Each structure stands twice: as structure tokens, then as C-alpha cells.
Structure 1
Amino acid sequence: MTGEETSFQTSLQARAEAQGGVVLTAQARAEGWARGRLSRFLAAGGWTRVRHGAWLVPGREVGPVELLWTHQLLRPELVVSHWSAAMLHGVGVGAGAGPPSGRPDFICSGPAAVKGATLHRLPLAPGEVTVVAGLRTTTVARTMADLLRAGPRDDALIAVDSALSWRHGRGSGPPGSRGRPLTTLDEIGRALTTAPSIRGAATAAWWLAMADPRSGSPAETLARLRIHDAGLHPETQAMLVVPATGRRVYPDFLFRPQGLAVETEGYTWHGSRSQHQRDVIRFNDLAACPEVRRILRFTTADVYHRPDMMIRDIRGALAG
């Protein structure tokens, strides 16, 4: 490689790193390289062709974020939205939740289609756009409003509960810990009312009333929805006090008159001995509360794949 080519490679790589690893052919050609020579140079240097006119820096694989960068560099008017925006904001979603097509989501008022992406032609106010990791995206509140409008209900509410609670993103702590929510119910509600003419706004407002910032996991959110759909309405995360120690414990669901506590057991918190020990202590604390006479525990697999069994067992315990 000549000195000129080495300098060009360094310059191009620096530009790409500032753009999510992606560089456009047009950007490189602006530096004086002919198209044919440029394509041969990039291919020989190990760059990956993401799509026509866009290349990925050597050593990186094409993933969701790289695709978002590619589309937005080629079409700067695009705004990342819906499930793609939820991913950028670090909002947790349930098993199977995400773009139904598997393609990145954008909002744009323009008429042209976007190859390889889902384009939502929706009104968007300037205050509903922010920047995350260099990408222009809808704010958390607007993102949650769009998910509620588009549905499906369960996936949308799992995302909303995550954004409202401590459990969003990669840094979520163990049960009982609390972090800074990404948004509030009021902010999502305002995002729904700023464009009430958008299809699905009325249903979205109804679904938002079912959100619960106290939800501790996607499985807990889904279990609450299944219990609600069955016509059962327990308290959620009710505070109980262990008489002997004064410790506080918060059952996922409490049918107080019947003394029945219902717990959903996700996989996340049982990955070590200390986490398992913490779970045992929590169970014993819950059993020691005078308000609790029986405890039912269901796994994430029960909630997602055997909800009828879960509801049957709850009904049986309530009737017993």
C-alpha cells in the first residue's frame, strides 16, 4: 500500500468510526477517488459492503445499529422510531418483541420508500426528536406512544413498563434495586395527545392505563396482563413488612382477602449462588408475612407458554 493509500485508509477509517463504522462511497469520492478504484481499494482492505453506496469498517459485522447508520447517512431526513428507537434507548422488551419484519424502523414524511426498512409516515414535532449515539431518533416518550399506537398490546406494554421502571437497559440491578426511569406516564400521555389524529391513538391511551412502573421484568408485565384478561385484579408490588425483622418485601401480585401471593420467577436473577440465596431469603420473608397464607410461583416459561395453566392454578388457589 502506498503512502497516499495508507493516509486515505486512516482518514476513511476515522470518518467511519465517527459514523457508527459506516462510510459512504460519496464521502470517499469527495476526496478525489474514482468509483472503480475506490471499490477495489475498499474490498481489498477488508471493508464490508453494507448496501450500494455504503461500506463498513474492517473488523465489524453488520448489525442493527450499523444498518440504522447506513440508512440515516443515505437519507438524513429519516428519524429512527418504534422498535429501533426502543433498542437505541436501551428499553427492555420481551421474548419475541421487536420489529415484526425484522427491518429497522424510521419516521419520514417523504413519499419515497426506503429499501430494507419500514417507513412510518407520521407527523413528528421538533421536540419529539433527540440524538442517541449520534443517530436522530424519537424521544423515549414518543417512541413508547408509537409502540402503543402500533401494537401488539403485550409487546408494547412490556416496553412501556421497562421505560417507566428501573429495569431498562443493560445496567439493571437485582430485584428491589431502583434506577432512573427513562420517561413517565405523563410524558407518554402527552406524546399521545400531541397527534390524536394518528390511527390507534384512542386504543393506545386505553392500553397506557394498564402500564405499571413497578413491574420488575417482562415476565411480570405479561403475567399481569394475563391475570387482568382473566378478570382477576390483584394488588401489584404491595409493600409487606416481615414482623420478626422489619424487612420490607414486595410480592409481584397479592390477593389480599385470600392471602394469596403470586410470584413470577425470571431467569435473570438466578445466575449465581448469591442471587439464589437472595431469592430464598425473599421467599422466606414473604412466607413470614401475616397477610400471606399461600404462595404460588411461576417461571418465565409458564407465563409465556403456559398461561392457561397459570390462570387455572391461581383460580384454584383463590377458591380453596
Structure 2
Amino acid sequence: MSPTTVRSWVASGRLLRLGGGCYAVPGSTTDWRVRVAAAVRSREAVVSHATALALWGLVAPPAGPVHVTVAPGRSGRGVPGVVLHRVADVDWHVRPVGGLPVTSVERSVVDAWADPSGAGRPAVRAAAITAVRRRLCTARQLADELARRPRLPGRAALTELVRLLADGCQSELEIWGCLQVLRAPGMPAFVQQRPLTVAGERFLLDAACEDVLLAVEMDGAAWHGSREQRERDIRRDAVVATVGWQTLRFGYRRLTAEAAACRREILTVHAARRRLFGLDVVR
């Protein structure tokens, strides 16, 4: 289109100027992705922070401004609806998502944690857990990014979360179970996300006590509430039992409301298994 036609269409309302030479038809300006694309194209920027997490599918599209990042030497400033960040070394964190340049998942999580105004820290925390579970990034990559940010606000809390993810926790329920049950004083040592193959079928045990072949499964209410899933759980427990593993299952309500009772049950079964395996025999 010629500049004259563009000016004419803007004057008549057929086009709306979004800034920096970007225009859109009026009906599309309420589309969140159109606003993001305009913010990126008009500034040659990279989508970052909570906006990047939304494009990665880890948080809902924020109702607030679009967050983008440019190199420190770039001129320009933010406008209403766009927050412009200037950060060094952003180029090697860029990934293509939906045709737009977006900061890597690990960089997006750490950036959004430092500036949680877009999504809020609980949402960023959930995004970090989901990202590792979906293998969009690793706990190691999150830890490496954290190592570059020694003055990150709230760094201790994110560091603890990354450590738990590195240990194998894959949900808030598993984190709760790990901290309040499995790692409580006096509990036996457990390995999380322990792979087990039986007759060519591969399983991941939420937590496994290797010395007595005791598995602990933490069942979320949403995932394990259906009849079909319960039947799969029963079959799974029966299959792993064929190679000597006993499974204890704790649902969301019991695990979070009766942590002490769960600990006692695990200790009781663990002691019985030690006697069964002859580990407490005094010679």
C-alpha cells in the first residue's frame, strides 16, 4: 500500500495505527496476539517476561501491558500498553514461537519472577513447574539462569523451587509431599521419579525407597479422580508388585490434611519391609 492510501484508510477508520509503522484493521486490535506482534515489530524487540510465558502456553494471556525486551543501546521508550525492558545478552535467549521472537522458557520464568506484575508469583511458580514437567526447559537450565541473577528479587524462594524440581518433583502436590512427608525428620531416604521397567513396560515411581522396594504415589484429585484412572492405578500397582515393589498411595486431601498420619503409615510399612527383607536381623 502506498503511504497516501495508508493515511487515507487511517483517516477513515479502516486502519488503526498501533505504533512504529504497524497498522491493523479495527476488529483485530482487541486480539492479544495482534497487540504483542505490533509491540515486537514496531520496536524490533523480543517478547519477554509474563507475555513470553503466555506465548509459551504456561500462563493465561495477562490483562495488563505487553512486555518486550531490547538491547541496552536501543533507543525508544515504552508506550501505553507496552513495557519496554533493556537487558544485555538477550539475543542468545531468543526462540521462535508462533512466528514471533520470544525469550527462552528459563529466561522468561526468571524475568517474570523478578517482575511479577504481569502474572503474579504464584502463576510464575506454576509456570516453572509445568515447564519442567513438559520438558520445555530443565531444572538445570533454570538453575543456570538463576546463577546469572545474584540480585534477583525473591531469589531464595525460586532457588528452593528449582532445587525441588531438580530432585524430581513434578507438581505442587509432590512438592508438598516431599517437604512435609518424605523429607520430614526420621523418614527413610526416597528417590523421586524413579524409573522402573517391568516386562518391557516403563513406569515412573513418584518416590521410591530402594532398600525395601517401597513406592509412594501422590495422587492429585483431578488426575486420579476418574474411574478409568483408578483402574489404571490398580493395574500399575499389580504390575510393579510382580517384581517385589509394594505401593502406598495417598490422595490430595489426605496428604495435605493428614501429613503426620501419612508419615506414620510409611514408617510402619517401611519397618515391616525391613523385617521381611531381613535388614533388621541382629547377628
Q: CA deviation at 1:292?
A: 1.7
Q: 1:144 aligns with which of 84, 109, 112?
A: 109
1:107 to 53, 69, 88: 69
Give the Cα–Cα distance (whole angstroms) in 1 for the partners of residues 47 and 164 of structure 2. 26
Structure 2 distance, partners of 1:280, 1:50, is 60
What is the aligned counterpart of 1:232 among 182, 196, 207? 182
Between 307-316 and 76-85, report the one with greater CA deviation. 307-316
CA contact (8 A) 2:51 2:62 kept: no
- Out of 135-144 and 148-157, give the one that drifted further: 148-157
The alignment status of 1:129 with 2:94, answered yes or no, reads yes
1:261 aligns with 2:203: no
Return the offset for 1:222. Answer: 0.7
TM-score (norm 1): 0.59
Confirm or deny: 8 A CA contact 1:157 1:221 kept in the other structure.
no
Cα distance in 1 between the residues matched to 2:61 and 2:179: 25
Q: Name the CA distance, whole Å, in 1 between partners of 2:84 and 2:221.
A: 34
For residues 291-310 of structure 1, what are the structure 2 equivalents within 5 Å? 291-298=245-252, 302=253, 308-309=256-257
Between the aligned partners of 1:229 and 1:65, the Cα distance in structure 2 is: 39
Distance 2:52 2:167 in 1: 20
Q: Does 1:211 align with 2:165?
A: yes
Secondary structure in structure 1 of the residue aligned to 2:38 = helix
Q: Which has the higher strand share?
A: 2
Q: Distance in 2 between matches of 1:160 and 1:210?
A: 11
- Once the two structures are overlaid, the 10-residue window that deviates more, 122-131 or 275-284, is 275-284
- Pairing 1:165-244 to 2, within 5 Å after superposition: 165=133, 167=134, 181-201=135-155, 204-212=158-166, 220-230=170-180, 232-233=182-183, 234-240=190-196, 242=198
Q: Counterpart amino acid of 2:175?
A: L
Q: Secondary structure at the match of 1:42?
A: coil
Question: Displacement of 1:258 after TM fit?
Answer: 9.5
Inter-partner Cα distance in structure 2 for 1:311 and 1:214: 20
Instruction: Check conservation: 2:66, 2:83, Cα contact below 8 A.
Output: yes
Q: Is the 8 A contact 1:241 1:289 kept in 2?
A: no
The 3-state SS of whatever aligns with 2:55 is helix
Q: Deviations over 1:8-44 (max 9, x none)?
A: xxxxxxxxxxxxxxxxxxxx6x53226454453627x
2:14 to 42, 52, 57: 42
Distance in 1, Cα, partners of 2:194 & 2:143: 25
- 2:237/2:246 contact within 8 Å kept: no
Stretches of structure 1 that go unaligned for 5 or more consecutive residues are: 1-27, 44-48, 168-180
Q: 1:160 aligns with which of 111, 125, 128?
A: 128
Q: Alpha carbon RMSD of aligned pairs, Å?
A: 4.2
Of all paired residues, the percent bearing the same amino acid is: 19
Determine if contact 1:89/1:132 at 8 Å carries over to the other structure. yes
Give the number of aligned pairs: 253
Greater shift, 77-86 or 34-43, is seen at 34-43
Work out the CA distance in 2 between the residues paired with 1:269 and 1:61: 41
1:2-21 alignment, distance < 5 Å: none
Q: What's the TM-score, normalizing by structure 2?
A: 0.65
1:177 counterpart residue number? none
Q: Within 1, Cα distance between the matches of 2:9 and 2:31?
A: 27
Change (3 A) 1:240 1:187: closer
